[in-house]
C-alpha cells in the first residue's frame, strides 16, 4: 500500500514564537495516523531543531527541509547540505518547488544533482513538478510535467525511484482565482503515474506516492484525496492554521 502523506510547507513564514504555538496547537489537536499515513512538516531551516524537539516520539510524523544544496560541503556561503540536515534528524527534503524554480532559476539538471544528494544520505526527496498558467491554457501540461520528471529523475534506478515522493503543483491554480477540480487532479496524477510505469513498470509506479499541491484546504482535502492516484497533499497556506492542517491530516485515505 502506498504511503498517504499530508506535508506542510511553511515556506518563509512565522516567528519562532508563532512556530512554537502552531506546533503546540497541532499536537493538541485530534488526529490519528495509520501505518500507511505520514504527516511531514517542512519548516524554515532555522526552526528545524524546535520542530524536531516538539515532534519527537510521534509515530509517522517527520520534520523536513524546504531545500538543500547538492554539494555535501564546501565554500557555498548561506547554503545547507543534505548531510547537514541528516545530522539533525531530517529525513525528508523538498526539492524543485515552483518558487525555487521561478525565483532562483533552478534547472532540471540542478534538481537531478540535488535528488542524488538526498538519496545518497538515505533521505526522501519530495520532488515537485507542475505547469504554469500558459502551459495549462495551451493544453500541453502533460508533456511539460513529463519533461520535468524525465530530465531530473529518469537517471535513477527502479529501487531509487521508489524512495522519491512526487508533489504535483498546478501553479496556474495558486493565487490566480482559477480552481483545479478533483477530476483535474486525478487526471494529471494518473498521467504522472503512467510516465513512471512506462519507464519502470506498473508495479514500481504503483509504489510511488504522488501528492497534490494546489491550494489544498480542509474544505476540499477529502474530495481531492479520495481520487485513486492522489496520495495526499503538499500544503502551503492552510498548513499555517492548526485546525486546517489537522483536518487535512484526517482527510488522508
For 157-187, what is each residue's pLDDT tens digit? 999 999 999 999 999 877 666 667 899 999 9
Asked if residue 117 lies in contact with residue 68, where contact means CB atoms within 8 angstroms, the answer is: yes
Q: What is the assigned CATH class of domain 4-250?
A: alpha beta
Backbone angles phi, psi at 5, to 5 degrees: -130, 130
Residue 45 DSSP symbol: G
- For residue 30, name the pLDDT band (cuts at 50, 70, 90): confident
Output the nine-digit C-alpha cell for 228.
485513486
Q: What is the predicted pLDDT for the residue at 172? A: 85
Global confidence as pTM: 0.97
Domain boundaries, the chain: 4-250
Which residues are annotated as catalytic? 97, 169
Nearest to 216 by CA among 166, 170, 253: 170
User: What's the mean pLDDT in 190-206?
Assistant: 98
Mean pLDDT score, 31-48:
95
pLDDT computed for residue 79 by the predictor: 98
Mean of per-residue pLDDT scores for the chain: 95
Amino acid at each position: 500500500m502506498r504511503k498517504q502523506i499530508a506535508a506542510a510547507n511553511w515556506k518563509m513564514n512565522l516567528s519562532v514564537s508563532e512556530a512554537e504555538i502552531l506546533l503546540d496547537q497541532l499536537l493538541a489537536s485530534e488526529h490519528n495516523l495509520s501505518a500507511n499515513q505520514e504527516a511531514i512538516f517542512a519548516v524554515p531551516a532555522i526552526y528545524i531543531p524546535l520542530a524536531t524537539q516538539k515532534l519527537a516520539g510521534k509515530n509517522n510524523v517527520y520534520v523536513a527541509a524546504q531545500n538543500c544544496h547538492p554539494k555535501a560541503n564546501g565554500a557555498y556561503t548561506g547554503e545547507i547540505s543534505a548531510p547537514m540536515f541528516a545530522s539533525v534528524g531530517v529525513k525528508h527534503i523538498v526539492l524543485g518547488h515552483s518558487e525555487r524554480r521561478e525565483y532562483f532559476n533552478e534547472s532540471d539538471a540542478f534538481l537531478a544533482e540535488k535528488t542524488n544528494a538526498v538519496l545518497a544520505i538515505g533521505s526522501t526527496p519530495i520532488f515537485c513538478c507542475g505547469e504554469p498558467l500558459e502551459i495549462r491554457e495551451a493544453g500541453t501540461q502533460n508533456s511539460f510535467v513529463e519533461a520535468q520528471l524525465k530530465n531530473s529523475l529518469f537517471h535513477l534506478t527502479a529501487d531509487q525511484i521508489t524512495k522519491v515522493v512526487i508533489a504535483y503543483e498546478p501553479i496556474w491554480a495558486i493565487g490566480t482565482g482559477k480552481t483545479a477540480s478533483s477530476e483535474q487532479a486525478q487526471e494529471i496524477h494518473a498521467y504522472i503515474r503512467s510516465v513512471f510505469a512506462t519507464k519502470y513498470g506498473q508495479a514500481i509506479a504503483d509504489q510511488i506516492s504522488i501528492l497534490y499541491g494546489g491550494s489544498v484546504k480542509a474544505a476540499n482535502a477529502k474530495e481531492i484525496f479520495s481520487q485513486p492516484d492522489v496520495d495526499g497533499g503538499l500544503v502551503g497556506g492552510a498548513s499555517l492554521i492548526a485546525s486546517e492542517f489537522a483536518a487535512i491530516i484526517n482527510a488522508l485515505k
